[in-house]
Structure 1
Amino acid sequence: MNDVKNILLVGVGGQGTILASKVLSEGLVEAGYDVKMSEIHGMSQRGGNVSTQIRYGKKVYSPIVGKGEADVIVAFEKMEALRWIEYLKRDGKMVINDFEIPSVPILMGQVEYPEGILEELSENASVLVVKAAEIAEQLGNSKVMNIVLLGALVKAMNVEGVNWKRTIENNVKKGFEELNLKAFDEGYKL
């Protein structure tokens, strides 16, 4: 039996998708899994999409997650969830940040931001909607919404044997450890 699990984290440049992936990957290694991670930066410096693919299990040979293979997709932005849904397994789950970042064509008035994304995705998949931006704002810094989402994901995955506090402290910017730990705890409570 194939014990390998597949996770996609997708978002827009600047949302901290890669940091969340690195923390998750380190935690999974600490839990004893073989882990492979792949990052794709599509014009991320200019607000383009960013995705990371994480595969973990007893033995993993490739970091690439194919269409229809993701056990979990964590979308840091709603439109990215829509863009990546074809990678989700039939019985997979989506964790979606209820947050919008308008693309350049939307900002230029060429197209409208799509309406009803969460409703459409909920009809086609098992979806957990998280208001990570609101939680991060309540903590005093919108930049920690990635760690809020990470906390929600870790809780859903039920990975044991990991010192998430240490893993987060080792990866976040010095001076922001406590804020990120609070963000993780808030996401974990979800």
Structure 2
Amino acid sequence: MAVKSIFISGVGGQGTILAGKVITTALVNLGYDVKMSEVHGMAQRGGSVITQIRYGDRVYSPLIEKGRADVLLAFEKLEAARYVEYLSPEGTLIVNDLEMPPASVLVGKEEYPADIVERLKEEIRNMIVVDAVGVAKECGEIRAQNMVLVGVLARVMDWPKDAFVEVIRDVVPAKYVDVNISAFERGWDMGML
């Protein structure tokens, strides 16, 4: 199989690292060669966090060139705009309909753009906007928004659902397993273009 590329962008504290771990573990379990790269930046202070995942029969580098990602999975709207140049013209943007203003906005130096999703829709053919926070709250844990987004991604990529449920059982602390599986399954149901 040809190499596929997933670019994940988010803000520190959103669970992007756990999402990356679930995705890569499931793909390894499915028999793919998988490479992953993470950049944490100022994650502890709400800064940008990116994860690049490439998988296929044989992968030599985890790094994704601009314009080559099959999917951009953005945990926040501004992070989608910041990294959209990595998405291929045929790729899919999955974006969490969430605003987490960066420090420059919080201190009044800049304004958060009001129409990010509308502008992205003008240039992206395949786009899914997800209220992952709302769904996670309905599942009983706001922090499970990452698994909502992983569920959407898994459906878009046509990955087997059971492989991800199994990994969630293995890597998520026991008291959060059920809510995370529920969030994943809700995302899975939303992952159709």
With the length of structure 2 as denominator, give the TM-score of the two structures: 0.95
1:139 alignment partner in structure 2 = 139
* 1:56-79: CA deviation from partner (whole Å, max 9, x where unpaired): 001000011111110100000000
Once the 2 structures are TM-superposed, how far is the Cα of residue 32 of structure 1 from its aligned partner? 1.3
Give the deviation of 1:30 after TM superposition: 1.3
Give, in angstroms, the shift of residue 139 of structure 1: 1.4
Q: Is the 8 Å Cα contact of residues 154 and 160 (structure 2) preserved in structure 1?
A: no
Aligned counterparts of 2:101 and 2:165: Cα–Cα separation in 1: 33
Q: Which amino acid aligns with 1:14?
A: G
Aligned to 1:180: 180
CA contact (8 A) 1:13 1:45 kept: yes
Give yes or no for the alignment of 1:189 onto 2:154. Answer: no
Q: Which residue of 2 aligns with 1:159?
A: 159
Question: CA contact under 8 A between 1:31 and 1:161: conserved in structure 2?
Answer: no
AA matched with 2:57: K
Deviations 1:121-156 (A, max 9, x none): 111112110000110111121100000000000011
Identical aligned residues as a percent: 47
**Structure-2 change in CA distance of 1:161 and 1:96 (3 Å):** closer
CA distance in 2, matches of 1:11, 1:107: 17
Structural mapping, 1:102-117, within 5 Å = 102-117=101-116
Shift of 1:180: 0.4
> 1:161 Cα deviation (Å)?
8.0
RMSD of the alignment, in Å?
1.2
1:168 maps to which residue?
168
* Aligned-residue offset at 1:162: 5.0
Structure 2 residues without counterparts, runs of 5 or longer: none
Kindly tell me: are residues 63 and 140 of structure 1, through their superposed partners in 2, closer, same or farther at Cα, counting changes over 3 Å?
A: same
Gaps of at least 5 residues in structure 1 are none
Question: How many corresponding residue pairs?
Answer: 189
Partner SS for 1:66: coil
Q: CA contact under 8 A between 2:34 and 2:53: conserved in structure 1?
A: yes
